[in-house]
Structure 1
Amino acid sequence: MPIYVYWGEDDFTREKAIALLRDRVVDPQWASFNYTSFLPDQPDATIGALNQVMTPTFGAGGRLVWLINTTLCQQCPDNILAELVRTLPVIPENAFLLLTSRNKPDERLKSTKLLKQFAAEFREFPLIPPWKTELLVQSANQAAQTVGVKLTSRAAEWLAESVGNDTRLLYNEIEKLRLYVEGSNKPIDVDTVTQLVRNTTQNSLQLAAAIRTGDTTKALGTLADLINASEPGLRIVATLIGQFRTWLWVKVMMESGEQNQQAIASAADVANPKRIYFLQQEVKLLSVQQLISCLPLILELEVSLKQGGSETSVLQTKVIELCQVCGGR
């Protein structure tokens, strides 16, 4: 009675894992009978899924029942918990129950403990933090290998810089590159990548730079370019968080008297210590307090966007506030 719990914010990678599981479990000729998914807004979705997973399979292959975006591992009413207790021990061997959620399971909940008791496989699909440049480059190289192309080291770095931690966009761009160089065995170089891949992350870094100098006009102009290019607000925020976090760490280390660039790079999580000199120049005119004051504003921006606030209005307001903080010397 295999049970799977997939969670995490990397929707694309999670979707690929779900497709692999479905292909392994369900015979495609019998999929209409043996594969069922339940959306969270369906009435009694959990009860329906548990009843369905107990239904004998039709034809060949196994049965897969998928509870999409379930909250079972975040909150579980007593009646649902009772149904889990009754059902989990007797799920047929060729039936598979899959639970997915973006949120981390609550280890304290009885439902989570019950799933672990019956050997559920918990698997996380996290997004790489935007400031983890080495992991982003590694992800780009792994995606290229999966798709069947080779990247030069500089091309992988530029691609990672361009798409950030958006895994879906990463695979789309690599597929585009594969089609462009089809028939060639040479690694894709950085010139090819720069021609074909739009670097919106770099534009977000330009936005961060304009905010750092307190240049409200330039910051709002760069923001307008990003919005016109349909850059998601949360991706802009992710870049700002990473950049201001890096600046803050560099400034703190400078204020503490640290001069070793390797030590500063390690503390600031900067892969290339040679960048430290340039980062030091960037934050020379800013105080630690100014950089600290920026982070809550960026986090407020992230919360507002996630709560469905008007993207353009919220972004513009917070960018102005950030420029005012950084511009007040």
Structure 2
Amino acid sequence: MPIYLYWGDDDFTLMQAVERLQESVLDPSWASFNFDRILSDQQNSIMMALNQAMTPPFGLGGRLVWLVDTSLFQQCPTEIYQELERTLPAIPDTTTLLLTGSNKPDGRLKSTTLLKQYIDKSKGELREFSRIKPWETDKLEEQVKVLAIERGVKLSRDGINLLAELVGNDTRQLYNELEKLKLFAGETHQPLSLQQISLLVQSNTQNSLKLAGCLKTGQTSKALELLTDLLQHNEPGLKIVATLVSQFRTWLWIKLMMETGVKDKQEIAKTAEIGNPNRVFFLQKEVQTLTLKQLQRSLPLLLELEADLKAGAEERSTLQTYIIELCRLFQQ
């Protein structure tokens, strides 16, 4: 009775792991009989999943019960917890139970503790699938390197750096771009040139970071140009704003600690949630000409922008209005 818990916001790599699990558990000829995909918005979804998990498989292979986007690890009513306690020990070894969600499991919940115990006992897996932060360039470059080797795409060190810059933390796009580069390279054994990569690969996430750089220097025309480019490449407005919020929050923390006299780079990195303390030096240079007041006023504007977009405001004009306002803020 293996139990698997996959969580995180990287939907693409999470789905790939789900597909691999399906292939390992199910017999292709009997998959339609032995695979249950239960959505969390279905009534009594958790009870349905537990009931199906108790059913032996038909024919060959095992049974896979997948509870999709469950909130079981954020909230668990007493009656559900009691059912988990009763059912989990009785699930047959021929069943694999998979639970997926976007949020990190709350370790304070009894349901989380219980399921972790059964994951360990059943030799299942608790695994996180979260996107790398856009500014964690060393991790992004390592991801490109690993996946390029897996896909058989030859890249130079500079090519890896460029592809990481162009694609950012969008794993789905990275896979697609590597497939495109592999087809383009054909049978050649030479690494692809920087010019070839630039021509074939579109940039989205890193342009959002460049947009943040334009905002903090008050370059209105350049910022609007970058925004237009992002929207033309179908980059969602909320994703653009999420990158801007993360970047400006980091700058605010760095400036605040500079103003309060904190000099220990390890302490600054920990407080600002920066993975690599060596990056602190460069961030300090980035905010050197900014005032604390400017950064403090920028975040409420970005959060207002996010709220307006979520409320259904017209995307392009709303983004343009706030970008002009942010640029004016940093021109003062």
TM-score w.r.t. the length of structure 2 is: 0.85
SS at match of 1:118: helix
In the alignment, does 2:158 pair up with 1:154? yes
Question: Partner residue of 2:135?
Answer: 131
Question: Partner residue of 1:232?
Answer: 236
Instruction: Flag the 1:123–1:54 CA change in 2: closer, same or farther, 3 A.
Output: same
In the alignment, does 2:205 pair up with 1:211? no
Contact 1:131 1:269 in 2 (8 A): no
* Aligned residues: CA RMSD: 3.2
Deviation at 1:294, TM superposition (A): 2.2
Query: Counterparts of 2:313 and 2:26 in 1: how far apart (Å)?
Result: 41
Question: Partner residue of 1:297?
Answer: 301
Of 137, 143, 149, which residue of structure 2 is paired with 1:145? Answer: 149
Deviations 1:201-220 (A, max 9, x none): 34324422331233445433
Contact 1:264 1:276 in 2 (8 A): no
Question: Partner residue of 1:114?
Answer: 114
Query: Counterparts of 1:247 and 1:110 in 2: how far apart (Å)?
Result: 38
Deviation at 1:90, TM superposition (A): 0.4
Q: How many residues align?
A: 326
Deviation at 1:134, TM superposition (A): 0.4
In the alignment, does 2:168 pair up with 1:164? yes
Question: Partner residue of 2:16?
Answer: 16
Query: Counterparts of 1:257 and 1:87 in 2: how far apart (Å)?
Result: 56
Instruction: Flag the 1:250–1:111 CA change in 2: closer, same or farther, 3 A.
Output: closer
- Matches for 1:171-190 after TM superposition, within 5 Å: 171-190=175-194
Question: Partner residue of 1:93?
Answer: 93
Deviations 1:187-236 (A, max 9, x none): 22322211100122343244223312334454334323321221122432
Question: Partner residue of 2:78?
Answer: 78
Contact 2:134 2:206 in 1 (8 A): no
SS at match of 1:21: helix
Deviation at 1:325, TM superposition (A): 2.4
Query: Higher mean Cα deviation, 193-202 or 99-108?
Result: 193-202
Question: Partner residue of 2:40?
Answer: 40
SS at match of 1:155: helix
Query: Higher mean Cα deviation, 60-69 or 209-218?
Result: 209-218
Percent of aligned pairs with the same amino acid: 53
TM-score w.r.t. the length of structure 1 is: 0.86
- Matches for 1:255-294 after TM superposition, within 5 Å: 276=282, 280=285, 283-294=287-298
Query: Counterparts of 2:44 and 2:179 in 1: how far apart (Å)?
Result: 40
Query: Counterparts of 1:131 and 1:245 in 2: how far apart (Å)?
Result: 12
* Aligned partner letter, 2:319: L
SS at match of 1:119: helix
Query: Counterparts of 1:118 and 1:307 in 2: how far apart (Å)?
Result: 42
Instruction: Flag the 1:241–1:161 CA change in 2: closer, same or farther, 3 A.
Output: farther
Could you list the runs of 5+ residues in structure 2 that have no partner in the other structure?
none
Deviations 1:70-100 (A, max 9, x none): 1111112223222212210100001010000
Could you list the runs of 5+ residues in structure 1 that have no partner in the other structure?
none
* Aligned partner letter, 2:188: S
* Aligned partner letter, 2:111: S
Contact 2:169 2:205 in 1 (8 A): no
* Aligned partner letter, 1:135: K
